[in-house]
Structure 1
Amino acid sequence: MRIRVLGSSAGGGFPQWNCNCPNCDGLRRRKLMAHARTQSSIAVSANEVDWLLVNASPDILGQIRDTPELQPARAMRDSGIAAVLLMDAQIDHVTGLLMLRERAGALPLLATPEVLSELDSGFPITRLLSHYCGVAPHPVPTDGRTFTAPGLEGIELQAVPLASKPPPYSPFRGNPRPGDNIGLVLRNPATGARVFYAPGLGEVTPELLAIMATCAVVLVDGTFWTGDEMQRLGLSPKAAADMGHLPQSGPGGMIEHLARLPATTRKLLIHVNNTNPILIEDSPERDELTRRRIEVARDGMDIRF
């Protein structure tokens, strides 16, 4: 089974179009050892022909161009994207659905009832798409049951409710529901190997850590290095926790939790904000991750399990 990292950045990409933080400015001026990144999304396949798109970022068209496997060209108009699964209703994870409107038939869309509700009302993408290809909604269970995606029976899926935040436009922003944000366990039925994917993660509970410990690969929230990163740079009054993200460093940070996983677990960070120093490949923060055997996901990365 194969995972293709289509995009590894947080919302806005890297460099962000309107940002002149040291990272974005340094990349534009070619003064940093760093690479541009698009907004986070992955694609998963059991046969490398039919793919499950997990989150549809605003950069989806460029990501498809950079991934020939997503265009198998079996007909005059075709796509390897068999279905889309959404982890949440954040704009940087759903706006790309609009770019898929030329699809010949209704787009199978897997999401929790909470996310489907947001996309029917607060940010009514599904209603907009009803005038184009249409959407075939598939509610995702969050009670521990496994499920499959239409046309992708070779991939076993399990949704895990996470502590995080619904989108700023949501009326539930200040009162999150269990289905607003999920992690995803992907299992290869042929080998039993499992991957845990969670680009938005505000808290690692003992129960969640136990699930992560059963996985060969964990691909988790790498948004901020410190909890006050945006505040220190004067870019936002909000801390990482206010945005539903667990920073990597400090007591209780992601690094500390990942250290509790088995030594054999491959650990990767994704959804990296443009302000995060781990984007700089020769930074002390990246060196620290390397010492701890934690990788930073990059666009175009392949993960096989």
Structure 2
Amino acid sequence: MKLIVLGAAAGGGFPQWNCNCRQCAGVRAGQPGLRRRTQSSVIVGEGADWLLVNASPDILQQIQATPVLQPGRALRDTGIRGVLLADGQIDHTTGLFMLRERGSPLPLWCTDPVHDDLTQGNPILGVLGHFCGVDRHTVTPDGSPFEVPGVPGLRVRALPLWSKPAPFSPHREHNVVGDNVGYLFENTANGRKLFYAPGLAEIDATVWEAMSGADVVMVDGTFWTDDEMVRLGVSRKLGREIGHLPQSGAGGMLEWLAKLPAATRKLLIHINNTNPILDEHSPERAACTAAGVEVSFDGLEIEL
């Protein structure tokens, strides 16, 4: 069983379409050490059967770049057996529109608050009702295990996270449990576990227990510093204010990851175009490498 990274960037991708920061300009110019990345999503499974975790706006490009997702068994076919959502954010859900040509309702797993987001704030699921339709399954973020039919050997647990819901969410100013979740994926054949949380603003006892017990941890890599966007003049909000724990500084992600067992594989995903760790020659990237923390890229495969 594998996890394959389809997209490793935060919203807007890398380079972001309207950004001329040093890094976005550099990747367009072919500067060494800067690698293009599409928006955050992964698949988990094996063979011809896969669970898509978050459906980014770049999903068609990502499918075309991923051999195991090609329609190889019938006139109309897909390796995507279901879709699992971690939140209702634009960069994790807009790709659902691109899956509308299915000949049957799209199997979709999400929490009730995310369902609210996608039926009230941004009614994607209502629109899909005019095309393939949606076969929705409820995710309860209490750590109880569940399986996705068609993806054998995979056990999933959802854990509540603190991170801001989407701006259009009916819960934007009063978070509720289930706005954002992390997932613990387990290979039932060998017991190996991977904890996945692309949006994470706070590590509580429940989240830390899941991280500490996982063989692989793949977590929020959006910003290097809390004031990164403010200093660059592209936002007035700090990273924590929009639901992302920065990597550096006291209480930052690198400090937390350093406490994990030595054998744990540690990776960052959902990386914003402003984050200097995207530059493979930067001191910030060197700090990640020295800490044993990997920076995810499109196409990365992880054995489970």
Place the TM-score, normalised by the shorter chain, in its bin.
over 0.9
Alignment of 1:73-112 (within 5 A): 73-112=72-111
> What CA distance in whole angstroms lies between the structure 2 residues aligned with 1:150 and 1:176?
31
Number of the residue aligned with 2:286: 287
> What CA distance in whole angstroms lies between the structure 1 residues aligned with 2:208 and 2:182?
12
> What CA distance in whole angstroms lies between the structure 2 residues aligned with 1:203 and 1:231?
20
> What CA distance in whole angstroms lies between the structure 2 residues aligned with 1:40 and 1:299?
9
Alignment of 1:288-303 (within 5 A): 288-303=287-302
Number of the residue aligned with 1:119: 118
Please give the secondary structure, in 2, of the residue aligned with 1:166: coil
Number of the residue aligned with 2:24: 24
What does the per-residue CA deviation read over 1:108-130, in whole Å, with 9 as the maximum and x for residues that have no partner?
00000110121111111111001
Checking the alignment, whether the CA contact within 8 Å between 1:183 and 1:196 is kept in structure 2 is yes
Please give the secondary structure, in 2, of the residue aligned with 1:184: strand
Alignment of 1:55-70 (within 5 A): 55-70=54-69
Deviation, structure 1 residue 290: 0.6
Number of the residue aligned with 1:169: 168
Checking the alignment, whether the CA contact within 8 Å between 1:58 and 1:95 is kept in structure 2 is yes
Alignment of 1:165-204 (within 5 A): 165-204=164-203
Number of the residue aligned with 1:150: 149
> What CA distance in whole angstroms lies between the structure 2 residues aligned with 1:109 and 1:266?
29
> What CA distance in whole angstroms lies between the structure 2 residues aligned with 1:71 and 1:140?
28
What does the per-residue CA deviation read over 1:64-122, in whole Å, with 9 as the maximum and x for residues that have no partner?
00001101411101000010000000001000000000001000000001101211111
> What CA distance in whole angstroms lies between the structure 1 residues aligned with 2:235 and 2:252?
20
Please give the secondary structure, in 1, of the residue aligned with 2:116: helix
Please give the secondary structure, in 2, of the residue aligned with 1:97: helix
Please say if 1:54 is aligned against 2:66: no
Checking the alignment, whether the CA contact within 8 Å between 2:112 and 2:139 is kept in structure 1 is yes
Q: Which runs of 5+ in 2 are unaligned?
A: none
TM-score (norm 1): 0.98
Deviation, structure 1 residue 31: 3.0
Checking the alignment, whether the CA contact within 8 Å between 1:194 and 1:216 is kept in structure 2 is yes
**AA of the residue aligned to 1:244:** G
**AA of the residue aligned to 1:290:** T
Checking the alignment, whether the CA contact within 8 Å between 1:7 and 1:63 is kept in structure 2 is yes
Checking the alignment, whether the CA contact within 8 Å between 2:116 and 2:170 is kept in structure 1 is no
Number of the residue aligned with 1:259: 258
> What CA distance in whole angstroms lies between the structure 1 residues aligned with 2:85 and 2:248?
28
**AA of the residue aligned to 1:163:** W
Deviation, structure 1 residue 32: 4.4
Q: How many residues align?
A: 304
Please give the secondary structure, in 2, of the residue aligned with 1:120: helix
What does the per-residue CA deviation read over 1:152-203, in whole Å, with 9 as the maximum and x for residues that have no partner?
2421000010010100111311211110000000001010110000000000
Moved more, 23-32 or 12-21: 23-32
Please give the secondary structure, in 2, of the residue aligned with 1:14: coil
Number of the residue aligned with 1:220: 219
Cα RMSD over matched residues? 0.9
> What CA distance in whole angstroms lies between the structure 2 residues aligned with 1:150 and 1:122?
29
Number of the residue aligned with 2:38: 38
Checking the alignment, whether the CA contact within 8 Å between 1:86 and 1:111 is kept in structure 2 is yes
